Amino acid sequence: MALMRGSLILATTLALLLVAGLVQAAAIEVREFNDPVLEERYRDITASLRCPTCQNQAINDSDAPVAGDMRDRVYQLLMDGRADFEIRSYMVERFGDYVLYNPRLEGRTFLLWGLPAVLGLLGLVLVGLLVRARRNASNRALSAEERARLDALINRERIE
């Protein structure tokens, strides 16, 4: 009896999980591709475009209506034989730079892309300078006068 109840619970749980999986799958449509390369490109593009209404979700990951519309359009444009960059520009023209997870390198974004490199370089230069300064300090030879003083100090200590 207990065993039967146990298996009943298990069966119910499995059924629920299955239904939940189906519901999840219904949110984002399945698309047919004859060409695996095209499918790969579709996956890349929809993962690199940000959904305009969501907080930090790519359009391949969102069930917001606008994300669905954008996926439809990406699919259509791919089928029309457009290049990846053309499809991304198409979306930027309509929804703004916001939809790009990777901002393009242009006049307006040079600070965004350039600052980390500049700061990194500056850090390297700083470390280099510090290392050189230290090495110089420890390598510097004593002058004759300093050596004589040092000997005198050491000798005095020995005598005492």
Partner 1 sequence: MNRRLLLLLPLAGFLALAVFLYQGLSLNPFHRESALMARDFPEFDLATLKAPERRVDRDLLTTGELTLVNVWGEWCPECKREMPQLLDLAERHGIRLVGVNWKDTREKALGFLEEFGDPFEVNIFDPDNELAFELGVYGAPETFLVDGDGVIRYHHTGYIAPNDVAEAVLPEVEQWR
Q: Which residues bind partner 1 (CB under 8 A)?
A: 52-53, 55, 64-66, 69, 73, 92-98
Give the pair of three-digit tokens for residue 121: 């370089």
Q: Return the amino acid letter for 116.
A: P
Q: State in angstroms the smallest separation of the CB of 2 from partner 1.
A: 51
Is the Cβ of residue 41 or residue 73 nearer to partner 1 in the bound state? Answer: 73
DSSP, residue by residue, 81-145 = T--HHHHHHHHHHHH-GGGBSS---SGGGHHHHHHHHHHHHHHHHHHHHHHHHHHHHHHPPPPHH
Is the Cβ of residue 25 or residue 131 nearer to partner 1 in the bound state? Answer: 131
Q: Tell me how far apart the alpha carbons of residues 104 and 81 are, in angstroms, rounded to a whole number.
A: 22
Q: State in angstroms the smallest separation of the CB of 78 from partner 1.
A: 16
Q: State in angstroms the smallest separation of the CB of 85 from partner 1.
A: 17
Is the Cβ of residue 94 or residue 149 nearer to partner 1 in the bound state? Answer: 94
CB 112 within 8 A of CB 69: no
Is the Cβ of residue 36 or residue 65 nearer to partner 1 in the bound state? Answer: 65
Q: State in angstroms the smallest separation of the CB of 65 from partner 1.
A: 8
